[in-house]
Chain A
Amino acid sequence: MNTPFRLRQVRTIAQLELKRVFFSRRSFWVYLLALLPAVIFIGHGIDVKVRQSRSASRTVSREILASIQLGDTPESVIERAGEPIDDHQWNWKEQNREVAHRRMMYFDGQDRVNLHFQDGLLASKRQSPLINAEEDRKVFAGVFQYFYLRLAIFFGCLGIFMNLFRGEMLDKTLHFWFLAPARRETLLAGKYLAGLAASIVVFTGGVALCFAAMLWPQSAADTQAYWQGPGPAHLFAYLAAAALACIGYGSVFLAAGMLLRNPIVPAVVLLLWEGINGFLPAILKKLSVLYYVQALCPVPPPLDASAPPLARLLLTPSEPPPAAVAAIGLLALTALVLWSASRAVRKLEINYGAES
């Protein structure tokens, strides 16, 4: 038995496992997790597109909109700018008297202009873009760090990698692999690669789709500028971070699946560990997947100042290492975990009776 033969075995095991991982009923919720943000961004994009098309039919020149001044009446505004896109009226009781409010919205082809009238006179005028590319990128950064890294990839890898051994133990099919003429380490490598391929395809696919959905409603000029600027580097960084998160969490949950029966235990422990990583001493910080992958994220996520102090503490990332150090550190951590897993798999016994 030589190395090329063992590598062929790894490939065969990975190919066989890949089908099971991709088409297993247990994997469907992982797809949902990976695609949920993309669905939300697509919904947002559709909303923007609908508003753009509605507004585009009633564009008012910038000169006319600039001529509207505080103190103007709604009638004089309509006389100059025509009927608004939106027009709402309501009364509000303030200091024992009824105040008439009216809000009208115009569109100059790029920005929305909101006019607010009180008692028949223009009280405020606010201009805002229909879509804010910069803001959308920050929202995407938040979705990536708070949803993908901390939840979707974490729990997705838990579902995929814990099942590689534990799921087969529950299905009473693990002996199929243990009775093959392969070293246990070869089996571990094949299964890990299968889980890795599945999780990377699912999650980098989800992130890429979400990224595309984020850019879709933006103007051609904004999109072009972004692609000619930092866009490709951002996309690469997000995909690399997602893939490295799968590599890291995958190894941890693969090992946990061999040592523990209940997936809730490692999930809770690791979730807490990752959450408090920012407060840990420097040496312990290095034993966290999130510590490394956060360092690769190109845009800092928005953190609401009004968020509760505990949430702010848990969500604030620790001081990130340089990107190259982060990638190498994560791979070293993964190698250490896989080495421990390979020792555990050699001792693993088939004892289905204890599982039921």
Chain B
Amino acid sequence: MRTPEIVFDEVSKFYGEVLGVNRVTLNIPPGITSLVGPNGSGKTTLMNLMAGLIHPDRGTITVRGLSPKDPERLMRVTGYATQYDAAPRGATGFDFVSTGLMLYGYSRVEAAERAWKALDQVSLTGAANRKVAAYSKGMRQRVRLAHAFAHDPEVLVLDEPLNGLDPLVRAETIALFRGWAAEGRHVILSSHVLDEVDVISDQVILIANGMIIAEGQIRNVRDEIHEHPSQFIIRSPGAARIASMLFELDHVTQVKLQDDRLGLLVMTRNRQEFSRALTRIALGGCGIESVIAADENVDALYEYLIGGSR
């Protein structure tokens, strides 16, 4: 009986003297799990370790009880859509997916049937006979996805799977992920956009500098995220008056009037409350020209979460 989790036990990986990931211990249950971190944080390293494309220097990994050192068994239950195109030169989308299936032992006919089904699920049947080299970024993303799940795996590892997708396909793809998760499969995806994973993930693993800095159910991590002070720049002819009103609010920790007295730098611990307060102030007759988030990027959050140690 295989365990249903993906387990990392004290896993470290170095590329020469460069750290990939360091002493990672994780126990990932089925469902949608997002690995979130800035570029170079170690997300792809974790995924490559899971799929056996690289080997840990220390520690052990099991994927639903299987070792990544045994690709013959592991890849029957795992599908991995990497960030690189794997299609052979000159291959069409259909060739790419069906060829991969033939390595699972499917006959040509079975492989073709499964390939069409997978391509249909990512809305790519119309372009299936076009060469992958001529695909747009979004289409390549979709064909990689089809290739990863065409053999109906229990574990799907997807490196930045929503990159380059238009909103409609993005929504369809997210629905696919949810469907798989509901069937008890693992859907492990990486992203550097926090807001994106916020709406789709059951679990989130925040990673920076090769170390896990937060993990768990999205609700808990979200609280941690929401406590992160956010900065906004407000432009208004009545900046001084707005500053005095904002000072009254508990969640506002800092207000700084700019030299031209037409701009404010505001730091708040609660974005939603801040947004509501600004609406009230604007309705009260203070003309607000613009509100710009000064640090609304994932790097700033990491800076906060890891205590500015980077």
Contacts and interface: CB of A to CB of B under 8 A. Distances in A.
B85 A1 contact: no
A224 B198 CA distance: 83
Residue of B80, B88, B99, B103 contacting most chain A CB atoms (<10 Å): B103
A9 B72 CA distance: 11
A12 B53 contact: no
A246 interface: no
Interface string A13-54: 100100110011000000000000000000000000000000
Contacts of A176: 86-88, 100
A39 B30 CA distance: 64
A354 B15 contact: yes
Contacts of B82: 175, 179
Given A12-B103, A349-B53, A351-B54, A181 B84 contact: no
B88 A173 contact: yes
A138 interface: no
A171 B87 CA distance: 10
Contact of B75 (A20, A173, A181): A181
B88 A180 contact: no
Given A12-B103, A13-B103, A181 B48 contact: no
A261 interface: no
Contact of A9 (B48, B84, B103): B103
Interface in B87-111: 87-90, 99-100, 102-105
A179 B80 CA distance: 7
B4 interface: no
B86 A181 contact: no
Contacts of B104: 180-181
Interface residues on B, range: 20 to 34
Contacts of A172: 84-85
A182 B100 CA distance: 11
Interface residues of A, number: 31
A112 to B, nearest CB: 54
Interface string B44-58: 000010011111000
B102 to A, nearest CB: 5
A163 B6 CA distance: 35
A178 interface: yes
Interface string B14-26: 0100000000000
A22 B73 CA distance: 31
B237 interface: no
Contacts of B103: 9, 12-13, 180-182
B21 to A, nearest CB: 14
Interface in A310-356: 347, 349-354
A347 B52 CA distance: 10
Interface string A161-176: 0000000000111011
A8 interface: yes
Contacts of A1: 72-73
A181 B71 contact: yes
Nearest to B51: A179
B37 to A, nearest CB: 17
A101 B144 CA distance: 80
Contact of B71 (A23, A178, A352): A178
Contacts of B90: 23
B52 A173 contact: no
Nearest to B153: A181
B71 A173 contact: no
B226 interface: no
Nearest to B101: A180
A24 B54 CA distance: 28
A90 interface: no
A184 interface: yes
B261 interface: no
Nearest to A9: B103
B76 interface: yes
Nearest to B15: A351
B66 to A, nearest CB: 11
B102 A175 contact: no
Given A178-B71, A183-B72, A352 B102 contact: no
12 contacts: A16-B88, A19-B88, A20-B89, A175-B84, A176-B100, A179-B75, A181-B73, A181-B75, A182-B103, A349-B54, A350-B53, A353-B15
Interface of B: 15, 48, 51-55, 71-76, 79-80, 82, 84-90, 99-100, 102-105
Among all A-B residue pairs, the 10 with the closest Cβ atoms? A176-B86, A181-B75, A180-B103, A350-B53, A349-B54, A172-B84, A181-B76, A183-B72, A173-B86, A12-B102
Interface of A: 1, 5, 8-9, 12-13, 16, 19-20, 23-24, 171-173, 175-176, 178-184, 186, 347, 349-354
